[in-house]
Structures are given as structure tokens and as C-alpha cells.
Amino acid sequence: MGLIAVARVRAVSLSCLILATAWSVAYSVRAEQAITANLKQTLTQRLLMMHDVAAYKWINQRPVEDLEREAQVLTATVERATTFGLDRTFATGVVRAQISAAKHIQSRWFTVWAVEGGPARAPDLTSELRPRISSQTEILLQQLKTFSAVELTEADRQTITAVPPELRDDKMAWAIATAPMLQGIR
């Protein structure tokens, strides 16, 4: 093979290597963005259910805060999180934050309804809402395992901290819910 042919083969090989590396980096960035976006969507869906939880509690004259139930949820969810390989401290912080954010949203609705009047109907807490919340929590735990392996970029932080439009009235709840993921407690 002549020198020109060898040079061409090397140039093509180098071009392929460069393209493969660029594709791999681009794919990695897109994958990390998808992980962050999926996590954000799950958190959003879970928090949106708190309106119905509040409605049920309002109609049935139950308080927003139920410390006994919260302790049960915390214990069970952290135990489940560890089966996914999540750090217990990280999982505890995330679960506590979700509970606090949920109470924040429920309390806001109670305040609104005290002035404007509350809802007449709500899905049943035990048979409808808790199974849906548990399902979202299970998805959240699975996503957190993947998320905890990702090194957050500034773009990821901005994506997570940006309040979803559906929760624009619950900015504080969003900040509470996302704080553990941004504080590096994993």
C-alpha cells in the first residue's frame, strides 16, 4: 500500500474516531438531560396529586399533618429506597422533603378553601390516591438511583429548580421537594 493510501486510511480512521467520540458525548449529555427531565416530571405528577389529597382531607375534616402516617411512610419508603441501592441519608432527605412539600401544598389549599369554600368531592384517599402516590414514589425511587449517579451540571440544576408551570402557585413546595437533590446529600 502506498503512502497516500495509508494516509487516507489513517485519516478515515481518525475521522471515525472523532465522530464516535462526539456522538458518545452528545448521547451522554442527552441521556443526562432525559434523566433530569424524567425526574422532574415524576416530582411534578406526585405533587399535583396533593390537591386531591387536600380535598379529601378537607371534606372529611382531617388535618393536613398526620405524624403517625408520615412516620410510617418515611420508614417504608426509605427501606424500599435502600433496596434500589440508594444511600439511606439521601433517601431520608428526599422522602422528608416530599412529605414537607406535600403538606405545604395541602395547607395552601386549606387556606384558599377557608376563604372561598372547599370542594364538594374528592377521590378516596385510601383506595385511589395512596396507590397512585405510591406508584409515583416507586418511579421516583427508581429514577433517583439513576439520578444519583449523574454529576449535575449547571443546566441540570436550572432544569430542576425551574418551577413547572402546573405548580406556579406552589413555588415554595417545589423548592422544598427539590432541595435534597441539589444539596449533594447523596
* pTM, 2 dp: 0.82
Q: In this structure, what DSSP letter does residue 120 have? A: S
Residue 27 has pLDDT above 70, yes or no: no
Q: pLDDT confidence of 59, banded at 50, 70, 90? A: very high
**Residue 17, burial from CB neighbour count under 10 angstroms (0-12, 13-18, 19+):** exposed
Give Dmax (Cα) for the chain.
Answer: 88
**19 vs 99, more confident:** 99
